[in-house]
Amino acid sequence: MPISFAVYQMRIAQEHDMIASIYTDLNDPDAFCSGYIECVTSKHVLLAALTPWGYRDGWLLWRVTDVQQVFTGDEYEARLEILAKLRNVSRDKLLDLSHAASASKGAVDVLHEMLSHAMNERKTVTVIVGAETYTGKIIAMDDLRVSIDSFDFFGTRDNHATLIPLRDIEQVMLGTEEEKMFDLLAANAAKLSDGHLPPLQPVR
């Protein structure tokens, strides 16, 4: 089966270390994400995301079938690359896929590798399935399913695992401001539940 033009573009962007902008909803032209392509397979793409101001904002993973358009080399991407270089942003990779590639003879399951990393490192992830969004800790997974213990709106673990088939996952986020926010709330959950909020500082 021939690869799509979007996959071709993303592979070229990865090969030449170019910033790419990925669109998954052409009805909302403002809903796109930009960054460096860390990995693209026939099934998934992993993006080291950048904010519009050139700061790192974690990693995003999509199914390639959901990618509707890819832009590289336009003015927006050119300016973003300048900002990233001026800010000397980290280019650390999320995953070392060399072992997975050798074990599977090149057919790397990036989704499984990303979720396994999050589980083993106890990192918070956001998983999107249709209209549902789950942000929390992965407590178990196998080749078909992942079990996630989600946070509530205020960062409290609900201690009720949700079982999600891997095939249904549309997007995964790790290390973005969303996950950092919930980590901050969770780390201070006891203080917040006791009402021990830090006092407001007067405006001078």
Cα 13 from chain centre: 18
> Of 2.40.50.90, 2.30.30.100, 3.30.70.1380, 3.40.50.2300, which CATH number belongs to 109-190?
2.30.30.100
3-state SS of the chain is CCCCHHHHHHHHHHHCCCEEEEECCCCCCCCEEEEEEEEECCCEEEEEEECCCCCEEEEEEEEHHHCCEEEECCHHHHHHHHHHHHCCCCCCCCCCCHHHHHHHCCCCCHHHHHHHHHHHCCCEEEEEECCEEEEEEEEEECCCEEEEEEECCCCCEEEEEEEEEHHHCCEEEECCHHHHHHHHHHHCHHHHHCCCCCCCCCCC
pLDDT (tens digit per residue) in 69-126: 999 999 999 999 999 999 999 989 999 887 655 455 557 899 999 999 999 999 999 9
Was domain 1-91 assigned CATH 2.30.30.100? yes
User: Structure pTM?
Assistant: 0.87
Domains 1-91 and 109-190 share a fold: yes
Domain-wise residue ranges, the chain:
1-91, 109-190
pLDDT digits (tens, 9 = 90+) for 26-68: 888 888 999 999 999 989 999 999 999 999 999 999 999 999 9
Both tokens assigned to 78:
């050119």
Q: Where residue 199 falls among pLDDT bands split at 50, 70, 90?
A: low
In angstroms, the CA 69 to CA 28 distance is: 12
